[in-house]
Amino acid sequence: MPRAILCVLDSFGIGGAADAAAFGDAGSDTLGHIAESCARGEGDREGLRSGPLCVPNMDRLGLGAAGRLSTGKDVPGLDFAGAPEALWGFAAEISNGKDTPSGHWEIAGVPVRFDWGYFPDTVPTFPPELIDPICEAAELDGVLGNKHASGTQIIAELGDEHVRTGKPIFYTSADSVIQIAAHEEHFGLDRLLKLCETTREFADPYNIGRVIARPFLGDSAQTYERTPNRRDYSVLPPEPTLLDRLTEAGRTVIGVGKISDIFAHQGVAKVLKGAGNDQLFDRTLEAMEMAEDGDLIFSNFIDFDSLYGHRRDVPGYAAALEHFDRRLPEMISTLKDGDLLVLTADHGCDPTWAGTDHTREHVPVIATGPGVMGRSIGGRKTYADIGESIADHLGIAIGPHGSSFL
């Protein structure tokens, strides 16, 4: 029986979404703009990388072809001359948002057709009707922040005051999210996680997608650094996902990175965590060693989004893509007969775009494995086709919201 390995390169959009203008993102193109910046020398950083974007392994599989299909333009540096060796194309998102849960749930066969709740870009951003009951239930003297902010910047800004007063740092973004940062030692990791559980309960009436624990360590604004102990408290998907259906069929789903958190710990039997893309790649290889026939490995590579997309760091994003590409043959060489490896993304986060929000884009869909013959799968109308193709590959019934490209 075959296995499937689904790798989400978090935020790696390839432009071209027909409804991008409705999100303020018309013209955004994460892959294309990174490649254009690198071709102009704007992706160079001493000691990190230089020159045109170099991802020959993904290009050989069909990344450059998918980019051209999505936008109608060549992608500088992606000039593989032969026919792509994998199944290749792109998928459009039909969910109402461009956030992490919407993208991942739709990939797993369940588009989000309702509207999430969001907080206004004001100070304060959270209403007292939300914050006051949380403080009372958690026995807090108050909170810091209470605004839209970058996670690393607000920790540098308010970390000292947090340590001195014991008040946790509450902030949000353009996503449907409440993020809570606290020092692992001074505040306590267990206390932070309990606070997030409490906040999750009070956030439910506001239809907020995630409450995220953002623990950090360090002793000054210059040394504060977030730890790998992040945890997302998500609401449940509105109907059974591919993960649930595989579990019901007696298969094992192994979640690597934040996958289990995104699905509210439902449908994932084994969880492997890692700090950064390299560790997440290693954990995926470990999962491939333990997975049995019929199982799914579902991995999220977070650095593209959190370290480089949101921070609008073109050289960092380019270097991360190139490093992933250099390691990709390790994963491909580990595939067994019958395995299917799928590379995709959950949304865009164009590092050349205004602001720090996600961008509404097509995502690449590249599928390979022993015996897979290269061909175009075209432009898929929904991310759900990704999950339903995996369902088809693993021999379970295809769900109602997508179709198989196999």
What's the pLDDT at 275?
86
Given this model, what pLDDT does residue 385 score? 98
Which residues in 332-366 are b (16+ Cβ under 10 Å) and which e? beebeebbbbbbbbbbbbbbbbeebbbbbbbbbbb
Yes or no: say if 26 and 310 are a contact pair by the CB < 8 Å rule: no
Under 8 Å CB-to-CB from 373, ≥6 apart: which residues?
none
Q: Which long-range contacts (CB under 8 A, 24 or more apart) does 144-148 make?
A: 144/168, 144/169, 144/170, 145/169, 145/170, 145/171, 145/181, 146/170, 146/171, 147/122, 147/123, 147/171, 147/172, 148/119, 148/121, 148/172, 148/173, 148/174
Cα–Cα distance between 268 and 59 in angstroms, integer? Answer: 31
Tokens 């897979």 found at: 372
Per-residue pLDDT tens for 228-257? Answer: 899 999 899 999 999 999 999 999 999 999
pLDDT means per 10 residues in the chain (406 residues)? Answer: 94 98 97 98 97 98 98 96 96 95 97 93 96 97 95 94 98 92 97 97 94 96 92 93 98 97 95 94 98 98 94 97 98 97 98 93 98 97 98 97 98
1 and 334 Cβ atoms separated by less than 8 Å:
no
How far separated are the first and last CA of the chain, in Å rounded?
A: 16
SS3 94: coil
Which residues lie below 8 Å from residue 371, measured CB to CB, with a gap of 6+?
Answer: 337
Show the tokens assigned to 87: 């199944």
Give the Cα separation of 45 and 111 in Å (integer). Answer: 39
Cα–Cα distance for residue pair 231/264, rounded to 1 Å? 10
